[in-house]
Structure 1
């Protein structure tokens, strides 16, 4: 894994605060951290300017009927994992791409318009030079998403301050059946927030030709309906998690709900979803140290009810998150979005 940007304790706590509420004001973050507002503002703006962290607005494609997710894994010719990952990341459909150690060399999450488009996109990815084998799994329900993750490092009081006042933390994924229909104006607002998830209502108003109060109402409506969420993009070592992994599980069908909900509540889980294909649960997680892997495997994974098999692959370099390119230095560069 490439070296991550160096940060001090206050920087780390500011990033943690942004993870809990990516659009929190600097005043709100300062109150939560018990630090001077001027200091938090200066340091937070510097973290964003230096690309230690980025904030992007992400439309939930499942909620909005904009597409479906496919997780793909690739085996590459010896020594060609990076070249394959770069070729995958260069395409528009993948929103997450990482190099892994384990049963496969590269993993990606790909968004396609509908299940009818799966084969054309999969064929395009499988035809990449140096890909020798691949497998695909279609996401059919999320149990938790990155935006909901609470690393549990700031304490209950700070978390309460940051997640009070409009920050949606329970997206009720299981209750969504009929997709929301977005207006062209809402899509325009979403595009602006994809470029800068902390764009002010004044900025949104100026670029869309609406009033600030209307811009605020539109954004709040999108968030409340579960259509728009704000993703804080950073590499996990920045906040003290040195190990990042993907967990591919086969669970008895009757226990998928139980296991998915259980894993969603675990503090190491950043994302977990149910899928079709060889593995019916897919998880992205983090741990502080390499030495924590054994206990996680035996005490967390090994105790799951209805577990048939588990395949854990370590992430060694991530090239793309939420469509934001990640440089070799671990810095997000929000230059392209969907």
Structure 2
């Protein structure tokens, strides 16, 4: 990876975008105390380094179910299986871990039939696949991501939970929101560029800018749409990404999940089914940083009965919203 230098202004811009991916450059400039032109220039530079702002539908709000798959396969088949899963529109995040024999795959199922077609039909017939365990994500404690790895920007997230987490994720589930053709076209356009302007969105949806604005406002207000920042954490000095599987006392699940969500190292945390009832994804500067986090930050929390760590070796697919 080419070495780059990011200063406090770059980091500040990234942090503001985490709070609102569509924040206007003028508003960002006021928050950071610089000119709008400077913000636009820094944003373009970060984009050359891989920065993406991605609009994401919230599966729970749209009546869809999220699953995390742990797939064990033979070493010679891991890459092939991962690439095949990456081509599916219902997968959003795929990584290789545990010596290249274990895959993690985030899947969003629109219907029980779609779920069963993958879990009960397609995967069992895949050559050189050893085992599959499917874990239903029950409650998210961080972000709006339906794609497993949300942002990887581990600096100061004190205010993020209230800003990023839609009402559909924070409170008891409500009835699924019905989407029309304009909504679906708008979500597809925002998945490519979450900061696309109203004229571009109007062209993509064949609607007027005023109609697009109304649909956009409705989707955000109803908790069906959020925005995530995708930026390689290695540019920020974080060289290790790790999955954490935790077994937590049932009565402590919400407390532990909320606590992890407030940790700047944690990009994602969710309650899940299975022998480990809480799963998280964290970013760390290195192995010593991870050890300190496990020993001093997590290990001291009451209610945690066991922790399993699985460092990520390679990301095959990330931050790709499933089709709404």
Please indicate the TM-score interval, normalised by the length of the shorter structure: 0.7 to 0.9
Which sections of structure 1, spanning at least 5 residues, go unmatched?
Answer: 325-335
Output aligned runs, 1:201-216, within 5 Å: 201-216=198-213
Which sections of structure 2, spanning at least 5 residues, go unmatched?
Answer: none
- 1:232 equivalent to 2:229? Answer yes
> Retained in 2: the 8 A contact 1:150–1:267?
no
Q: What whole-Å deviation, never above 9, does each CA across 1:91-123 have from its counterpart, x for those lacking one?
A: 222111011137962111111123454332124
Of 279-288 and 167-176, more deviation after overlay is shown by 167-176
* Separation in 1, partners of 2:92, 2:280: 16
Secondary structure at the counterpart of residue 175 of structure 1: coil
Displacement of 1:28 in angstroms is: 2.6
Of 229-238 and 147-156, more deviation after overlay is shown by 147-156
Q: What whole-Å deviation, never above 9, does each CA across 1:133-160 have from its counterpart, x for those lacking one?
A: 221111122122266879564798xx8x
> Retained in 1: the 8 A contact 2:144–2:227?
no
* Separation in 1, partners of 2:184, 2:3: 33
* Separation in 2, partners of 1:193, 1:46: 21
In structure 2, the CA distance between the partners of 1:44 and 1:248, relative to structure 1 (3 Å rule), is: same
Q: What whole-Å deviation, never above 9, does each CA across 1:72-102 have from its counterpart, x for those lacking one?
A: 1122213543333222212222111011137
Please point out which of 286, 290, 311 is paired with 2:287: 290
- 1:25 equivalent to 2:21? Answer no
Aligned counterpart, 2:82: 85
Secondary structure at the counterpart of residue 318 of structure 1: strand
Aligned counterpart, 1:331: none
Question: Structure 2 length as normaliser, TM-score?
Answer: 0.85
* Separation in 1, partners of 2:263, 2:112: 31
Secondary structure at the counterpart of residue 141 of structure 2: strand
Aligned counterpart, 1:139: 137
> Retained in 1: the 8 A contact 2:151–2:228?
no
Displacement of 1:246 in angstroms is: 0.9
The size of the alignment, in residue pairs, is 315
Q: What whole-Å deviation, never above 9, does each CA across 1:177-219 have from its counterpart, x for those lacking one?
A: 3222222222222122112111111222233343323322221
* Separation in 2, partners of 1:282, 1:152: 18
Output aligned runs, 1:238-317, within 5 Å: 238-317=235-314
Question: Structure 1 length as normaliser, TM-score?
Answer: 0.82
